[in-house]
Structure 1
Amino acid sequence: MTQTADEPASAEGDVLHKLSFLDRFLPVWIIVAMAAGLGLGSVVPGLASVLDAVKIGQVSLPIALGLLLMMYPVLAKVRYDKLDTVTRDTRTLVLSLVLNWIVGPALMFALAWLLLPDLPEYRTGLIIVGLARCIAMVIIWNDLACGDREAAAVLVALNSVFQVIMFGVLGWFYLDLLPGWLGLDTASISFSPWEIALAVVIFLGIPLAAGYLSRRIGERTRGREWYEGKFLPKIGPVALYGLLFTIVVLFALQGDNITSRPLDVARIALPLLAYFAIMWGGGYLLGKASGLSYARTTTLAFTAAGNNFELAIAVAIGVFGVTSGQALAGVVGPLIEVPVLVALVYVSLWLRKRWHANASRT
């Protein structure tokens, strides 16, 4: 049920217990998958040649299937029919578009160059994370923080479609054109903008079409209640399994690089922490200053801070390879994002109490 700023504050309960068992311990599963991958890499030295036996483009078939399975359940959750309601609240729509497609990518670009000037592969991976805007996972954080569910559904649907069109263009701009204008050295990174566009078409376009058709056919034949109450819970864990499979393979192939440079993970985490804090705080302050309700402000903040790390990992692997630093940076993304956004849910609920307290005194 959608919450509004006019509703009285109530006991929120334990946020973590509102998450599913799999979502609640997502950082733990990621760490376990990392460890399993490192162990697998040490006992199966010929893994890379086995995975490369059959490829889809530049990606081995097993990894490609894992990436597609990772993306499909996420996009099957999107309510595409809500796109026709985007004009009802122009203010929220415009603010979200500015935060997601102008501020977010620019901020990650700045943080990556500022904090990782000597690590071009990780820097590029983080910029790709900044380009992959939030989709379905953000709905969980928004609901836990009592945000506006319908507004979140609209913004998620809009971002899903917009990414197919703009991801390749923005990738070319932030990874090639803008560094050239600023005189930054990108000689150590070689890629084609068309490779990014192709990766987006394969790993976002295919599951996006499948997700749209699933919802349309499922709701027409069995109804929305069945689709969201029965079908989505069954396929939901598939996204996590696909993510964990990808992480296991990634760390199995990257074992030597990772164990020899453990501080690199900490350096990747630093700009991510700064990014999530700045985007969430900036979105919240902007919504408050614009006169939005608590629910809409919360939705604006979480949709600005969240990222589609599944797509970022898929693009990084599709363009630069599974053993690349770009892919490793993408994997660190959810490891940092999940606990940070859970913490921000608690911050948001605390601000909700103050919001109602201030409203009652005026």
Structure 2
Amino acid sequence: MEKTGNKDISLFERYLTVWVLLCMAIGVMIGQFVPQIPDLLSRFEYYQVSVPTAILIWIMIFPMMLKIDFASLLNATKKPKGLFLTTTVNWLIKPFTMFFIASFFFLFVFGGLIENELAREYIAGAVLLGAAPCTAMVFVWSKLTNGDPAYTLVQVSVNDIIILVLFAPIVAVLLGVGNVSVPWNTLLLSTVLFVVVPLLMGILIRKFVVKKQGITYFEKTFISKFDRVTMAGLLLTLIIIFSFQGERIVQNPVHILLISVPLIIQTLFIFSITYFGAYACKLPYNIAAPSAMIGASNFFELSVAVAISLFGLNSGATLATVVGVLVEVPVMLMLVKVANSTQAWFDFK
């Protein structure tokens, strides 16, 4: 991860789109030529939750949870405008615009290309993305736009707390409107497994390490030890997911493109209203840029995990969340350039 500027971005982050594409290709080939592997992995499930995938997702999420210092939430009261703007867009606008945009494209614009049942699965995957604002990769986007790291951390911390309360109800309501049957117990179990558990582990381990070694050691040395593990977890998760999606992708490669259309439109729309909202509120650039990035990007680790839990590894919903991973990186990098090129707009002095 970047340390002092854009020059120090890790090789993984710099070429994330390439690695994602490569892992997708590997997963598809495994599903096509070595189907015994996904068949074996599918046997390890508990209440519709894939155990191997759950382990890998925990590995991805845990380091992000370690970075959260809930004591920093107190500082948010000093700069309430940015926090209020981000929270409003993330929870009162974003999930609902995603539902309507996805429904419009999958049921009407692409109605003749996608069968109704599969279209509703794609809508479900889009909703899962829309209801989970970014809490991990946003640290990268914030650094690339020279955002205020402390304030970004506050925004992420608030998002994590809200996710615990609102993610499951919003998803259930929107999927219910979309005529998708949602097992509440599975959705709540997924939220607990992929948010509550790693969050509690992160808090406890953070306190223990800081108490024993100090905050400097924790921030400079301890967290960095998990970087490569997190990357490996992400890549292996993509390989597993696409090994189950291989046949569907080979048979309908155009669906990848169709799924990406509403996801890209949603990302651009949410970034625009948040960024211009920050301008209207006269927020400084180092708060305005990460505020817009948080709303535009998604907590895809959680979205993928819940999609797998609710609909299965080989479902259209899971495919939609994974396409979200692929789409997000190049689009967000483009928005980083947009933000950096318009930094002068926020010089209100």
TM-score normalised to the size of structure 2?
Answer: 0.91
Of 200, 205, 209 in structure 1, the residue corresponding to residue 196 of structure 2 is 205
Correspondence 1:208-357 to 2 at 5 A: 208-356=199-347
1:170-203 per-residue CA deviation (whole Å, 9 max, x = no partner) reads: 1112111xx2xxxx6x2xx332133211111112
Distance change (3 Å), C-alpha of 1:173 and 1:190: closer
- For 2:47 and 2:63, locate their aligned partners in 1 and report how far apart those are by CA, in whole Å: 23
Q: Which residue of 2 aligns with 1:140?
A: 140
Q: Which residue of 2 aligns with 1:76?
A: 66
One-letter amino acid of the structure 2 residue matched with residue 148 of structure 1? D
- For 1:122 and 1:325, locate their aligned partners in 2 and report how far apart those are by CA, in whole Å: 5
One-letter amino acid of the structure 2 residue matched with residue 114 of structure 1? F
- For 1:209 and 1:56, locate their aligned partners in 2 and report how far apart those are by CA, in whole Å: 22
Aligned partners of 2:274 and 2:291 also within 8 Å: yes
Q: Which residue of 2 aligns with 1:29?
A: 19
Question: Secondary structure in 1 aligned to 2:35?
Answer: coil
Distance change (3 Å), C-alpha of 1:18 and 1:348: farther
Displacement of 1:354? 4.8
Q: Which residue of 2 aligns with 1:50?
A: 40
1:154-183 per-residue CA deviation (whole Å, 9 max, x = no partner) reads: 01011112111111111112111xx2xxxx
Alignment gaps of 5+ in structure 2: 108-115
Displacement of 1:67? 1.7
- For 2:39 and 2:267, locate their aligned partners in 1 and report how far apart those are by CA, in whole Å: 37
Alignment gaps of 5+ in structure 1: 1-11
- For 1:84 and 1:353, locate their aligned partners in 2 and report how far apart those are by CA, in whole Å: 29
- For 1:267 and 1:219, locate their aligned partners in 2 and report how far apart those are by CA, in whole Å: 47
Displacement of 1:313? 0.4
1:101 counterpart = 2:59: no
One-letter amino acid of the structure 2 residue matched with residue 279 of structure 1? I
Q: Which residue of 1 aligns with 2:151?
A: 151
One-letter amino acid of the structure 1 residue matched with residue 28 of structure 2? L
Of all paired residues, the percent bearing the same amino acid is: 32
Aligned partners of 2:38 and 2:240 also within 8 Å: no
- For 2:35 and 2:288, locate their aligned partners in 1 and report how far apart those are by CA, in whole Å: 51
One-letter amino acid of the structure 2 residue matched with residue 162 of structure 1? I
> Please, what is the CA RMSD of the aligned residues?
1.8
1:163 counterpart = 2:170: no
Q: Which residue of 2 aligns with 1:6?
A: none
Displacement of 1:30? 0.8
One-letter amino acid of the structure 2 residue matched with residue 226 of structure 1? Y
Number of aligned residues: 336
Correspondence 1:6-17 to 2 at 5 A: 15=6, 17=7
TM-score normalised to the size of structure 1?
Answer: 0.88
Q: Which residue of 1 aligns with 2:131?
A: 131
Displacement of 1:355? 4.1
Aligned partners of 1:147 and 1:295 also within 8 Å: yes
- For 1:137 and 1:82, locate their aligned partners in 2 and report how far apart those are by CA, in whole Å: 19
Q: Which residue of 2 aligns with 1:175?
A: 175
Aligned partners of 1:33 and 1:244 also within 8 Å: yes
Aligned partners of 1:115 and 1:271 also within 8 Å: yes
- For 1:56 and 1:209, locate their aligned partners in 2 and report how far apart those are by CA, in whole Å: 22
- For 2:319 and 2:44, locate their aligned partners in 1 and report how far apart those are by CA, in whole Å: 22
Displacement of 1:263? 0.9
